[in-house]
Amino acid sequence: MLGLMQDHPLLISSVLEHALKAHPQGQIASRTVEGPMHHCSYADIGRRAKQLANALTALDVQPGDRIATLAWNGYRHMELYFGVSGMGAVLHTINPRLFPEQIEFIANHAEDQYLFFDLSFAALVEQLAPRMKTVKAFIALTDRSRMPAIEVPNLLCYEELIEDQSDEFIWPVIDERAASSLCYTSGTTGNPKGVLFSHRSSILHSLALCTQDGFALSSADSALLVVPMFHVNAWGMPYAAAMSGARLVLPGASLDGESLYQLMRDEAVTLALGVPTVWMSLQQYVEAHELDPAVDLQLNRVVIGGAAAPRAQVETFENRFDARVLHAWGMTEMSPLGTVCNLLPKHRYATLDERLDLQAKQGRSLFGVSMKIVDAAGAELPRDGKASGHLLVKGPWIASQYYRGEGGPILDDSGWFDTGDIATIDPDNYMQITDRAKDVIKSGGEWISSIDLENAAVSHPAVAEAAVIGIPHPKWQERPLLIVVLKAGKIASKEDLLGFLESRVAKWWLPDDVAFVDALPHTATGKLQKMKLREQFQDYRLACR
């Protein structure tokens, strides 16, 4: 027997229509590529998204066509988010921080029909345009007065493209399982792989963000999106903000500590989202200029994802910013949110140290994400917070395969996706990543967590960033090497750091050596590139002990 409920498809266009009726005056504040701040409303975004949809129709864009972007976080990019997907095409956000050869591969693999780009990437587009085989025209996200002087075939102006179009558009009613957007993994090994999101998966994912166990997003929030709109749909925030009426603050290309601090202050930001490297820059700016963010800002919570949040970073936000950190975890294949580290009622009276220990974990799974840990044979391990194993997930916003079937089957016989992470899960369902399966250090038959060592090292007052890799050892198979970037003007020796770590990790976990470098390599999404570190230190030899 079927239920007697109305059947309306879950579509991106329905989110925009809700925003237009429920909170049309909700604000979007953008720092533009041209320089000035730009303020508009959801009503403005809706009007221009419909003009865009009419323009794309005039360009003969068909349902399912891939429409690419090379753009920062800004109001025009928001218009593309809703106008492209709403009309039935597929929004393909390309990460401009990838190597040009990877961008070329991605655009051709996706068979993009049109490419919209910010002025920052004009030279890159000019370089790659001849090699983008399927792109019919390149649209600069600006007005006529600022059009770039580049040699690109079929170069169009965004403002001219939409200005004469009607702001009336009837969104098509399509299957909610139809593709809405396409993102590619960062491609740390081999070519990037495409993850094709549906309208249904994106709506369900965004609803989860709005819940109290998610980001508790509401119209009372002013949310700063430091996480790029070209990185897994900015973690779903453009959709979730439109659902809830939250004010969005979009920083454009200015992601340095000073620019972010000014935006937080001037735009009354209450919630900010980004990766640890960005927050490290912000905290260093505050420290260097002896600022008082607890007084200057209205910030009350910070979402940290993309990589493990160092305990010292969490503590600084708590003590100096008076802001609570929500540690989050996920991946492109998961849309991306899988867990958020919110506290339970039982933790209401926990001490600061107890809360910081808990916030080091990646958190509890949101409704819609099932997870388990298994051993090498595939047997499920207990949720006791001690047993660690391979982390598997499944749910309605988790990929079933890669675009065009690249890489072959990615699910096991029961529909579980192997994240590639090693983790523990405790009795309260808090999950903690202990390492990537490829990064875990195997010493004398036991595992050493490189993430735990890195977090302990970063809590040293002289350390800006740290990485730990396994180095072959004649006796123990592998031993940890600590690689450190010191803060500007700070000094620390190998002996200082090892002495500092002695009281913070198990004795047999202590690194055998410490190497000091000027900078660590990162992927285009801000994650440490340990593969490059292993290449850099491949001839490094540890003394036998």
**pLDDT number for residue 444:** 66
User: Could you give the percent of the chain with pLDDT greater than 90?
Assistant: 81
Please tell me what DSSP assigns to residue 379. Answer: P
d(CA 494, CA 466): 13
d(CA 13, CA 41): 17
pLDDT > 80? residue 371: yes
**pLDDT number for residue 445:** 61
Which residue carries 């004469």 as its tokens? 164
Task: Tell me the backbone φ, ψ of residue 87, rounded to 5 degrees.
Answer: -80, -5
**pLDDT number for residue 476:** 78
Looking at the DSSP bridge assignments, the partners of residue 31 are 37
Instruction: Tell me: cis bond preceding 336? Omega within 30 of 0 counts.
Output: yes
Looking at the DSSP bridge assignments, the partners of residue 484 are 466, 516
**pLDDT number for residue 522:** 83
pLDDT > 60? residue 286: yes
- 3-state SS, residue 444: coil
**pLDDT number for residue 542:** 75
**What does the pLDDT average to over 182-197?**
84
Which residue carries 């940890």 as its tokens? 480
- 3-state SS, residue 422: strand
d(CA 340, CA 15): 23
pLDDT > 90? residue 440: no
Tens of pLDDT along 197-235?
Answer: 999 999 999 999 999 999 999 999 999 999 999 999 999
C-alpha 273: how far from chain center? 9
- 3-state SS, residue 10: coil
Superfamily of domain 370-436: Luciferase; Domain 3 (2.30.38.10)
Cβ-in-10-Å burial (0-12, 13-18, 19+) of 529 comes to middle
**pLDDT number for residue 329:** 95
H-helix or E-strand spanning residue 456:
helix 450-458
Measured CA to CA in angstroms, residue 431 lies from 182, 392, 522 at distances of 28, 12, 25
- 3-state SS, residue 134: coil
Catalytic residue among 79, 267, 333, 478: 333
**What does the pLDDT average to over 24-50?**
97
Active site residue 104: no
Active site residue 442: yes
**pLDDT number for residue 507:** 83
**pLDDT number for residue 543:** 62
Looking at the DSSP bridge assignments, the partners of residue 28 are 40, 248
Are 114 and 59 within 8 A, CB to CB?
A: yes
For the CA atoms of 293, 316, 363, 409, the dihedral, rounded to the nearest 10 degrees, stands at 90
Looking at the DSSP bridge assignments, the partners of residue 224 are 249, 272
Tens of pLDDT along 115-161?
Answer: 999 999 999 999 999 999 999 999 999 999 999 999 999 999 999 99
**What does the pLDDT average to over 413-437?**
93
HSE-up (13 A, CA, CB side) for residue 90:
24
**What does the pLDDT average to over 81-85?**
98
Band (pLDDT 50/70/90 cuts) for residue 181 is: very high
Domain map of the chain by residue range? 16-197, 370-436, 441-536
Band (pLDDT 50/70/90 cuts) for residue 249 is: very high
Indicate the range of 2-6, 213-217, 305-309, 370-374 predicted with least confidence.
305-309
d(CA 423, CA 365): 13
HSE-up (13 A, CA, CB side) for residue 469:
20
Q: Are strands 430-436 and 463-473 parallel, antiparallel or unpaired?
A: unpaired
Contacts of 488 (CB under 8 A, 6+ apart): 284, 464
**pLDDT number for residue 203:** 98
**What does the pLDDT average to over 501-526?**
86
d(CA 400, CA 395): 10
- 3-state SS, residue 385: coil
pLDDT > 70? residue 1: yes
**pLDDT number for residue 151:** 96
Name the residue among 366, 356, 116 with its Cα closest to residue 240: 366
Name the residue among 114, 26, 122, 112 with its Cα closest to residue 75: 26
Catalytic residue among 438, 447, 475, 535: 447
- 3-state SS, residue 92: strand
CATH of 16-197, one of 3.40.50.12780, 2.60.40.3080, 3.40.50.880, 3.10.330.20: 3.40.50.12780
**pLDDT number for residue 351:** 93
Which residue carries 């800006």 as its tokens? 464
Residue 450: count other Cβ atoms within 10 Å of its Cβ.
26
H-helix or E-strand spanning residue 446:
strand 446-448
d(CA 371, CA 320): 35
d(CA 283, CA 264): 13
d(CA 451, CA 519): 18
**pLDDT number for residue 44:** 98
Tens of pLDDT along 402-423?
Answer: 999 998 999 999 999 999 999 9
Are 492 and 463 within 8 A, CB to CB?
A: yes
Band (pLDDT 50/70/90 cuts) for residue 48 is: very high
Name the residue among 328, 320, 425 with its Cα closest to residue 370: 425
d(CA 13, CA 173): 9
Band (pLDDT 50/70/90 cuts) for residue 187 is: low
Superfamily of domain 441-536: ANL, C-terminal domain (3.30.300.30)
Name the residue among 315, 394, 328, 319 with its Cα closest to residue 361: 328
Average pLDDT, the chain: 93
Q: pTM to 2 decimals?
A: 0.86
Cβ-in-10-Å burial (0-12, 13-18, 19+) of 350 comes to middle
d(CA 415, CA 78): 34
Token representation of residue 158 = 């965004």
Tens of pLDDT along 288-336?
Answer: 999 999 999 999 999 999 878 888 899 999 999 999 999 999 999 999 9
Indicate the range of 10-24, 119-133, 531-545 predicted with least confidence.
531-545
Which residue carries 């009354």 as its tokens? 268
d(CA 419, CA 333): 9
**pLDDT number for residue 17:** 98
Active site residue 185: yes
Name the residue among 453, 446, 477 with its Cα closest to residue 467: 453
Active site residue 329: no
**pLDDT number for residue 539:** 84
Q: Are strands 477-486 and 463-473 parallel, antiparallel or unpaired?
A: antiparallel
Name the residue among 542, 532, 530 with its Cα closest to residue 467: 530
Indicate the range of 118-122, 424-428, 498-502 predicted with least confidence.
498-502
**pLDDT number for residue 544:** 55
Are 96 and 117 within 8 A, CB to CB?
A: no
Catalytic residue among 185, 316, 339, 434: 185
Measured CA to CA in angstroms, residue 520 lies from 83, 111, 162, 312, 523 at distances of 39, 34, 43, 19, 10
d(CA 371, CA 416): 9
Catalytic residue among 21, 133, 438, 442: 442
